[in-house]
Structure 1
Amino acid sequence: MEKKSVHSQYEEKLVETLKNAILNSNEKWEKGWNTFDLSPKNGNTDREYTGINELKLLFSPYTDNRWFTFKQIQALGGKVKKGEKGTLVQFYTNKVEKVLKDEKGNPILDEKGNKQKEIKKLDNYIAKYYIVFNAEQTTGLPAFSPPTITDEDRKKRDIYNIERIEFLVKKLNITVEEKLSNSAFYNFQNDLIVMPDKAQFKSRQEYYGTLLHEVSHATSHPTRLNRPITGDLSSKAYAKEELVAEISSMLLSRKYKIAVQNTKREISDDKNSIAYLKSWIEAGRLTDDDLKEAVKGAIKISNYISLKDKELEQSPAKENIQAFSEVQNMKSSSQAITYNQLKKNLISSKSLSRDKNITIEPEK
């Protein structure tokens, strides 16, 4: 039997993790979202994992968000518990270490007897793989001490991130129309996102969590990522697009600290989308290859949004956001009262699934 490459093993484990997350979820992506303040990070460097690595580590069964390589654990005086298995992560680099050698091909040593090395830059990026262990899989490491944040600081942070999303939507030239409705959807032909009125949501967090899902769909437009979308609710293409949007909106919600997991949505809730995807996987109509493609598509969206966010960070608009956030912070309590009063006057009706209301290009 042919031995599987490290890359194949990495992809297989990723698909297995993603599939289990969907099939074992009752309503939402609960595992991972309930610790949205604790993104997976390297416990030695404090650098957060991103992209596919973040997805893999998010759905781990551990509370501790610190991950280490075997050598890092040893250097810190710890040990990996007997029988524990590590998790494979990958990253791309265009730099490699090269051992310097003399004319005879022998390694050149420094005064301490260590091999001298140089960093060589490559023309192309290459994938490197490492096995990491969660801190809970070890002994002898410092105890887990989760960061603390006051309610006031959390409130300011949430307002700031919400305004960042608003500015990003404008940066992407996406039109958002609000109206009294019970569904949210993206209209591809008109490049338009339709959202229920903010007053219909329990919180601004819920509103913006839903908006990020629709923004993920909107990146399919030719003026953005130009991702072809065809078919209707019963088509495989539709199911794949919904999977891409679910994964990317989860990553974006974490990026902007949108804690949509804290309340059950009444408007276009995730329950319907997840149930829809579960049915496709259980019926075998979404294959492992489809899941791999969906992850790649979601990462592409997340990276695209991140680039726009970096442009914003370097522009004068950042100061406008911070100034506006302070004003919004002072107004937030009065706005909440207004929303609640208005909500009482709305006609209640059953939630409509978000995935049933996206306008999709017909198959040609």
Structure 2
Amino acid sequence: MARIQKFDVHQEITNRIVDALESAGEFSLPWIRSKGGSMRRPVNIASGNPYNGVNIVSLWVAAQVQDYPSHLWGTYRQWQARGAQVRRGEKSSLVVFYKTLSIEETNEQTGESEQAERFMARASFVFNAAQVEGLDLASEEQPLPNEPVFDPIARAEAFARATGARIEEGGDRACYIPSADMIRMPERRRFTGTATTSPAEGFYSTLCHELVHWSGAPNRLDRNLVGRFNAESYAMEELVAELGAAFLCGDLGITPEPRADHAQYIAHWLKVLKDDKKAVFTAASKASEAANWLIAREAGQAVA
């Protein structure tokens, strides 16, 4: 009797992201909008809550591949509960959630039974608003509760100030300098923009990348990937910054700027992702943590 292979949600999501990276052009990474696909933070239609971590990346990849214009997602039953129906033949996208299970274990020293908790990964299959019928998409796409209506660039400037980071403009490259605990940016007038981004969007999206690096300092989020990824920790920190910047750009309404140094990291990202099916989960989780922490500072919710 043939053995049925267990579905591995970590491997499946990793495979989809790796496929997207391998098929992406040098300057069209899956989390950078090129021609279509919503770059707003994906939101669940039932709860109204945004997705976090690797689920943002997974749904952005799906949105770009299928050119979905909406940031709203839900399971088959969640859409039904809203009076909508997933069209016949539509293919689902994959997200992961963790369920806490209580199990009984025997203490090896005392021989007594103890209750322990384990987190189990579970797959959930969701559909974009563009895949359903019977939904007034225009009304659903209104700003979410507590989501401000803003001029993206004006808010980006206010956001950068609110972080409290020391940011100096000058020189010819963008970088975070740990020894001085400061961010160095080329003067904003030197940004020329691209076919899909204005000069200002290019400046602020690059600044978001460096702010994610800044957030990982020992006196802030204390992000250290060396123990997890060893020699590949530098490339993975760049992936965290890349994803974190994309998450921030989605929240701030900025089109992410393709960076000229993307290509040098892609090979490293692919190697680590292929070798470790949970690597992208770690990177996306750290990126989500950094983006949420930085946004919280804007609202005065984060500690210094």
TM-score using structure 1 length: 0.60
After TM superposition, list the pairs within 5 Å mapping 1:46-195 onto structure 2: 46-60=48-62, 61=66, 62-92=68-98, 128-138=122-132, 140-145=133-138, 147=141, 156-168=151-163, 170=164, 174-179=165-170, 181-195=171-185
- Aligned ranges 1:1-364 → 2 under 5 Å: 8=8, 10-26=9-25, 27-29=27-29, 33=33, 35=37, 38-60=40-62, 61=66, 62-92=68-98, 128-138=122-132, 140-145=133-138, 147=141, 156-168=151-163, 170=164, 174-179=165-170, 181-202=171-192, 203-228=199-224, 236-261=232-257, 270-273=259-262, 275-280=263-268, 285-290=271-276, 292-310=278-296, 312-314=298-300
Deviation at 1:196, TM superposition (A): 0.7
Q: Which protein is bigger by CA-based radius of gyration? A: 1
Provide closer, same or farther for how the CA distance between residues 194 and 287 of structure 1 changes in structure 2, counting only shifts above 3 A. same
Out of 12-21 and 129-138, give the one that drifted further: 129-138
Q: How many Å separate the matches in 2 of 1:75 and 1:147?
A: 17
Q: Do the aligned residues in 2 keep the contact of 1:36 with 1:257 (CA within 8 Å)?
A: no
1:321-350: CA deviations, max 9, x gaps? xxxxxxxxxxxxxxxxxxxxxxxxxxxxxx
Quote the offset at 1:154 in angstroms. 6.8
Does the residue aligned with 2:223 lie in a helix, a strand or coil? coil
Counterpart contact for 1:245–1:298, Cα < 8 Å: no
Q: Give the C-alpha shift of residue 184 in structure 1.
A: 1.0
Task: Give the Cα–Cα distance (whole angstroms) in 2 for the partners of residues 162 and 2 of structure 1.
Answer: 57
Q: Distance in 1 between matches of 2:78 and 2:250?
A: 27
TM superposition shift of 1:210:
0.7
Note the residue ranges of structure 1 that are not aligned, 5 or more in a row.
Answer: 97-121, 262-268, 316-364
Q: RMSD of aligned C-alpha atoms?
A: 3.7
The 3-state SS of whatever aligns with 1:288 is helix
Identify unmatched segments of 5+ residues in structure 2: 103-115, 193-198
2:255 and 2:86 map into 1 onto residues whose CA distance is: 33
Partners of 1:66 and 1:285 in 2: CA distance: 32
Q: Distance in 1 between matches of 2:6 and 2:38?
A: 33
3-state secondary structure, aligned to 1:227: coil
Q: Given residue 12 of structure 1, which amino acid in structure 2 is its aligned partner?
A: Q
Contact 2:169 2:184 in 1 (8 A): yes
Corresponding residue SS for 1:270: coil
Q: Distance in 2 between matches of 1:2 and 1:162?
A: 57
Give a deviation string over 1:129-152, Cα, whole Å, max 9, x none: 4322223434x4225327479xxx
Q: What's the TM-score, normalizing by structure 2?
A: 0.70
| AA matched with 1:158 | I
Identity rate of aligned residues, in percent?
24
